[in-house]
Amino acid sequence: MKSGYTIGCDFGTLSMRAVLVRLEDGAILAEQVYEYPDSVITERLPGSGVELKGPGWALQNPDDWLNAMYTCVPAVVAAAKVAKSDIKGIGVDFTTCTVLPMDRQGTPLCKLPQYRSRPHAWPKLWKNHTAVPEAEDMTRADTQNHRHVFDDYGFRASSEFFFPKILEVLRKDEEIYNTAYTFIEGGDYVTYKMTGALVRSSCLAAAKAQYNAAEHRYPPKEFFRDLDPRMEGVVEDKHLGSIGTGASRAGLLQPEMAEKLGLCAGTPVCIAHADAAVALVGAGAIHPNEITFAMGTSTCHIMMAETKEQIPGMFGVYKDGVLPDYYTYEAGQDAVGDIFDWFCRRMVPQSYFDEAAARGVAIQKLLDEKAGAIPVGASGVMALDWMNGNRSILQDTDLTGMIMGLTLSTKAEEVYRALIEATAFGTRVIMEAFARYNVPVKKIFACGGLAHKSPILMQIYADILNQPISVTAVKQTSALSTAIFAAVAAGSRDGGYDTFDEAVEHMVQPPRRVYTPDPANVPKYDRLYRVYREMHDLLGAAKESPMKELRRIQRESIQ
Amino acid sequence: MKSGYTIGCDFGTLSMRAVLVRLEDGAILAEQVYEYPDSVITERLPGSGVELKGPGWALQNPDDWLNAMYTCVPAVVAAAKVAKSDIKGIGVDFTTCTVLPMDRQGTPLCKLPQYRSRPHAWPKLWKNHTAVPEAEDMTRADTQNHRHVFDDYGFRASSEFFFPKILEVLRKDEEIYNTAYTFIEGGDYVTYKMTGALVRSSCLAAAKAQYNAAEHRYPPKEFFRDLDPRMEGVVEDKHLGSIGTGASRAGLLQPEMAEKLGLCAGTPVCIAHADAAVALVGAGAIHPNEITFAMGTSTCHIMMAETKEQIPGMFGVYKDGVLPDYYTYEAGQDAVGDIFDWFCRRMVPQSYFDEAAARGVAIQKLLDEKAGAIPVGASGVMALDWMNGNRSILQDTDLTGMIMGLTLSTKAEEVYRALIEATAFGTRVIMEAFARYNVPVKKIFACGGLAHKSPILMQIYADILNQPISVTAVKQTSALSTAIFAAVAAGSRDGGYDTFDEAVEHMVQPPRRVYTPDPANVPKYDRLYRVYREMHDLLGAAKESPMKELRRIQRESIQ
């Protein structure tokens, strides 16, 4: 029986969550959350108060990340009442691609007085969207010159990717570009701060920086030269080279950092991972063709497989994305929980809030209950779930949400149910794409807030996908995953596990609940899905879609 | 200069409104509204408490109508402080087809103790929809046997029509059918009660009972026999024959009734008219190709023309519908104001109500203001206005509402504006059908609550239709129209006018406001209209529309 513990640090968009996990059985003995004081910076830079002009900004303060570590790690060790010498390893997962320029001494440029008021010196959060023109230029250059850089990323660059964000710095503030010793992902920055070693994560680099782990290379020089001759040598110039995979160690905890974290110097530190992708380990979905839905404000669908298939509209397919040797497939829906929140805030009348308050339940719980009582198809309402565009399979940010079947007697809960169903239909489109391209989904795991909070929603998903869905035992799936990575990074010699199979067998508990399809609902949803699919194709896939024309008109009328 | 007055009684769905109008200039000197105590009967019969089973019931209590007369007519005479001898005539407009069985003595069967608890003995309001199967059977019989009864009514019977309602009585409660001396429209019932003369209105009969005024005949015996041999002689058996047109007199006010109304016996009583159709007279739209929009919970589009064209999807085209000799075209949108009400009740969050309350304005006024500030096309939101089906041109009650272009930042006022625009686009579809079939609209008048309440809405209509719209001087357009009919029914010999031209010239004041298209918005709306039209055709006109399939699924899942 293993003794000892590992710590997983899960850096989200608004907060960091640390968990202290028992190696023996994966029990979470302590947990601590730290909300970032500067949260997401969208309007003015902290300190200087410099205004961020135009839309799309989403920056972060790197001190928030370190302070989160300094607060949470000692707190979980204290709360669990364990000896620091029993902490066998520590790991980090992070939003991606969240990237910052850093100098040779390891200081983020935004911390230097001379750059503090320069927006491009700050970390750009994954959802910073100011690099849309750069992403478009990259797509165009890639296509025109047949570089095939984005073939495994749905054939398109996204402004969320690494290199469009870097190109934007070069174009908008060349001094920052030139001064930067490196551009580094937030996750790598944190492990670097702990270990002093500049070892990047293949999970992050493959997901968002087009790093080809099978051939150990970034996009070719020519690709960067096509875009800007100054960027030709970016990989070497900016020291992007050193990459670790799987549960590689980034290094060992340095004494100064060990003191701040209340841990022992020399504790193994695992390389960082992407917060959504990593979840599959904590879900136990470590075998090929087992998919994990990380369901929150948006949903990520992560699956490993043994072969690489080019599935049109997949957000990414890359080797060594999570576990070594496998290919990781990533698909997503840009808004899921966000749609329900938007609906509750913008479309639900007060009487529902009054009823929820009188009964002492949350509004979404009340709506869940009312929506759950509606028989399949009985409302006649159907929606398209594109209120924040479509990431997979259509990959079109210009798509918008739609609701049809409205009558003068349509009620809020009927629209709410239609919105839930729309997100499930959207997932089914993705599942069918996997199947069509010979990467069929054999087992579904679900984690994230929605999976744990809404049994109605999960049952609808099981019915619509016609497959059982296992909801993870713990809510903190990504943080647990990261603790498991830390355990494997430690290895048996240092008190951890040598393989993922072994670690998962011990540290991942059976699903909290398995939702199985209701056979009475499956054929009804098959029929409704055909209607969804027809609307999907008419409005989303068709080149001359009225929905897209509406968006063009909107864009022109705003200019 | 004319001296004297007439009274117009406008019987709506929920209330009756009487106005006393000065012949000299059309000034409304007094007005009185009476809300029907029994309102619309949808669940239980008054008195007996008998339950109305199944959906679609909408009955009325005929005593409500008479009590409304007894209350309002003396009240307006008293309020205007005029001598009853100066009242030169009285007229009635009524919802249609609202029909009841009556015995030979003029008593509605529902007033007889033995029939009081029998639903089919009661007046069926225009929107009573229990006769859907009968309407479908009539359409089928008409088509199969080439009777052409409904060719001028969009080729289809509606459950709102006269004969489906009668057939339903025959099928469901034959004793009521057999006992009835006649079936009579509510408007005709009221004039009959005043005059003792069973003279029906060609306006009502042509609009909803397929009375062909050009050939002075109802549908042929064979048509009724096809449906049910017992109904073959319905026209003669049920005494439907005596018809008056235009401003014919139904008769003179009988002494007993004169006393109850506080008028002189012998006062001329004009035949009844349909409440929506009659509005064109009060709007001043008495020349060919001048259309009147009666805009309220729903919209009626009424236009007279010199020729009869078969326009697919028109709700009705009939001779002597309003003024004699002209053909009256009637189109409609089944929900307009109802859509905005539904949206306010079901989709607007409390913060808007709070803001409206803080500013002391109505919620719709607040939404108007916010929606009015959005530039054309800028919201990217578009709707289809079929929340209560489509009456013209598609004539399909299975169609439903749709909203697209929704994003996580879409606000209530953006959807609200899209709903207004959708109803205007719906009107444009109708206007284009008129034009395509050689009955172009030369001038647009608008009356009704919406036309008077919402300048934003009217401006959007003018921009989308690219034609000026004249809003009537008075709000009570139908009641004024009826007073004008009464003036012409009196004729100059009895102190009224001899022609409509003359009466309208004196009694209709210039428009309160003319909305002219904003040339900057017209091309933008032309482009948006093409998008609307494309969605209209994809979802509404296409036989294999996903919207219709959704409705079929709904119907089957409810069964």
Per-residue pLDDT of chain A (559 residues; tens, 9 = 90+): 789 999 999 999 999 999 999 999 999 999 999 999 999 999 999 999 999 998 889 999 999 999 999 999 999 999 999 999 999 999 999 999 999 999 999 999 999 999 999 999 999 999 998 999 999 999 999 999 999 999 998 888 999 999 999 999 999 999 999 999 999 999 999 999 999 999 999 999 999 999 999 899 999 999 999 999 999 999 999 999 899 999 999 999 999 999 999 999 999 999 999 998 999 999 999 999 999 999 999 999 999 999 999 898 888 899 988 998 899 999 999 999 999 999 999 999 999 999 999 999 999 999 999 999 999 999 999 999 999 999 899 988 889 999 999 999 999 999 999 999 999 999 999 999 999 999 999 999 999 999 999 999 999 999 999 999 999 999 999 999 999 999 999 999 999 999 999 999 999 999 999 999 999 999 999 999 999 999 999 999 998 899 999 999 998 987 6
**Does B546 contact A at CB distance below 8 Å?**
yes
CB contact under 8 A, A534 and B524: no
Mean pLDDT across the stretch B518-533?
98
Closest residue in B to A546 (Cα) is B531
Q: Are residues A98 and A232 in the same domain?
A: yes
| Chain B positions in Cβ-Cβ contact with residue A531 (cut-off 8 Å) | 546, 549-550, 553
Q: Are residues A495 and A416 in the same domain?
A: no
Residue in A338, A557, A558 to test binding to B, most B beta-carbons within 10 Å: A557
**Does A364 contact B at CB distance below 8 Å?**
no
User: Would you state the pLDDT for residue B202?
Assistant: 95
User: Would you state the pLDDT for residue B32?
Assistant: 98
**Does B537 contact A at CB distance below 8 Å?**
no
Q: Are residues A172 and A318 in the same domain?
A: no
Q: What range defines the domain where residue A61 resides?
A: 5-276+477-507
pLDDT band (50, 70, 90) for residue B393: very high
| Chain A positions in Cβ-Cβ contact with residue B396 (cut-off 8 Å) | none
Q: Are residues B201 and B133 in the same domain?
A: yes
Cα A171 from chain centroid (whole Å): 27
Closest CA–CA distance from residue A557 to any residue of chain B (Å):
5
Q: Which of residues 384-403 of B touch A (CB under 8 A)?
A: 384, 387-388, 400-403
Closest CA–CA distance from residue B369 to any residue of chain A (Å):
18
User: Is the per-residue pLDDT at B84 higher than 90?
Assistant: yes
Closest residue in A to B538 (Cα) is A538
Is B287 inside any structural domain?
Answer: no
DSSP line for A63-114: HHHHHHHHHHHHHHHHHHT--GGGEEEEEEEE-TT-EEEE-TTS-BGGGSGG
Span B191-228, pLDDT tens digits:
999 999 999 999 999 999 999 998 999 999 999 999 99
DSSP A120: G
Q: Are residues A481 and A466 in the same domain?
A: no
CATH number at residue B259: 3.30.420.40
| Strand stretches in B140-288, DSSP E | 182-185, 200-201, 243-244, 249-252, 268-270, 273-274
**Closest partner residue to B407 among A350, A387, A404, by Cβ?**
A387
User: Is the per-residue pLDDT at B457 higher than 80?
Assistant: yes
| Chain A positions in Cβ-Cβ contact with residue B413 (cut-off 8 Å) | none
CB contact under 8 A, A342 and B408: yes
Closest CA–CA distance from residue B334 to any residue of chain A (Å):
11
Residue in A127, A333, A346 to test binding to B, most B beta-carbons within 10 Å: A346
Nearest alpha carbon to residue A279 among A550, A476, A449, A107: A476
| Chain B positions in Cβ-Cβ contact with residue A405 (cut-off 8 Å) | 400-402, 547, 550-551, 554
Q: How many domains does chain B have?
A: 2
- Quickly count helices (H) and strands (E) in chain A: 20, 20
CB contact under 8 A, A531 and B549: yes
Q: Are residues B209 and B332 in the same domain?
A: no
SS3 B397: coil
Closest residue in A to B546 (Cα) is A531
Is B286 inside any structural domain?
Answer: no
Q: Are residues A324 and A206 in the same domain?
A: no
CA angle B79, B37, B478 (to 5 degrees): 55
User: Is the per-residue pLDDT at B4 higher than 80?
Assistant: yes
Q: Which of residues 306-345 of A touch B (CB under 8 A)?
A: 335, 338-339, 342, 345
Is A288 inside any structural domain?
Answer: no
Is A294 inside any structural domain?
Answer: no
Is residue B185 within 8 A of residue B123, CB to CB? The reply is no
Is A26 inside any structural domain?
Answer: yes
Residue in A404, A423, A463, A525 to test binding to B, most B beta-carbons within 10 Å: A404
E strand or H helix at A293: strand A290-295
Is residue A23 within 8 A of residue A497, CB to CB? The reply is yes
**Closest partner residue to A546 among B335, B388, B531, by Cβ?**
B531
Three-state SS annotation for A529-553:
HHHHHHHHHHHHHCCCCHHHHHHHH
Beta-ladder partners of A332? A300
Q: Are residues B261 and B232 in the same domain?
A: yes
SS3 B153: helix
Is B292 inside any structural domain?
Answer: no
| Chain B positions in Cβ-Cβ contact with residue A416 (cut-off 8 Å) | none
User: Would you state the pLDDT for residue B154?
Assistant: 82
**Does A354 contact B at CB distance below 8 Å?**
no
| Chain A positions in Cβ-Cβ contact with residue B535 (cut-off 8 Å) | 546
Paired tokens of B100: 């009841």
Is B316 inside any structural domain?
Answer: yes
CB atoms within 10 A of CB B360: 7
**Closest partner residue to A410 among B338, B346, B549, by Cβ?**
B346
CA angle A26, A28, A31 (to 5 degrees): 150
Span B307-330, pLDDT tens digits:
999 898 888 899 988 998 899 999
CB contact under 8 A, A553 and B524: yes
Closest residue in B to A550 (Cα) is B380
Higher pLDDT residue, A155 or B166? B166
User: Would you state the pLDDT for residue A155?
Assistant: 87
Is B52 inside any structural domain?
Answer: yes
Closest CA–CA distance from residue B553 to any residue of chain A (Å):
6
Closest CA–CA distance from residue B273 to any residue of chain A (Å):
29
CB contact under 8 A, B554 and A405: yes
CB contact under 8 A, B404 and A539: yes
Closest residue in B to A382 (Cα) is B550
User: Would you state the pLDDT for residue A558?
Assistant: 77
Residue in B554, B558, B559 to test binding to A, most A beta-carbons within 10 Å: B554
Instruction: For residues B208 and A129, give the distance between their C-alpha atoms in angstroms, rounded to a whole number.
Output: 59
CA angle B391, B92, B101 (to 5 degrees): 75
**Does B547 contact A at CB distance below 8 Å?**
yes
pLDDT band (50, 70, 90) for residue B435: very high
Nearest alpha carbon to residue A130 among A99, A104, A103: A99
User: Would you state the pLDDT for residue A114?
Assistant: 97
Span B500-517, pLDDT tens digits:
999 999 999 999 999 999
pTM of the model: 0.91
User: Would you state the pLDDT for residue B189?
Assistant: 98
* Alpha helices for A233-361 (secondary structure H): 234-237, 255-261, 279-283, 337-347, 350-359
| Chain A positions in Cβ-Cβ contact with residue B400 (cut-off 8 Å) | 380, 404-407
Q: Are residues A261 and A363 in the same domain?
A: no
**Does B355 contact A at CB distance below 8 Å?**
no
Angle between helices B412-436 and B363-372 (to 10 degrees): 80
Q: Are residues A176 and A64 in the same domain?
A: yes
Q: Are residues B263 and B237 in the same domain?
A: yes
Q: Are residues A484 and A529 in the same domain?
A: no
| Chain B positions in Cβ-Cβ contact with residue A346 (cut-off 8 Å) | 349, 410-412
**Does B559 contact A at CB distance below 8 Å?**
no
**Does A55 contact B at CB distance below 8 Å?**
no
Residue in B345, B413, B544, B557 to test binding to A, most A beta-carbons within 10 Å: B557
**Does A559 contact B at CB distance below 8 Å?**
no
**Does B510 contact A at CB distance below 8 Å?**
no
Instruction: For residues A86 and A72, give the distance between their C-alpha atoms in angstroms, rounded to a whole number.
Output: 17
E strand or H helix at A457: helix A455-465
User: What are the two backbone dihedrals, phi and then psi, of residue B527, each rounded to the nearest 5 degrees?
Assistant: -70, -45
E strand or H helix at B63: helix B62-80
User: Is the per-residue pLDDT at B559 higher than 80?
Assistant: no
ipTM of the complex: 0.90
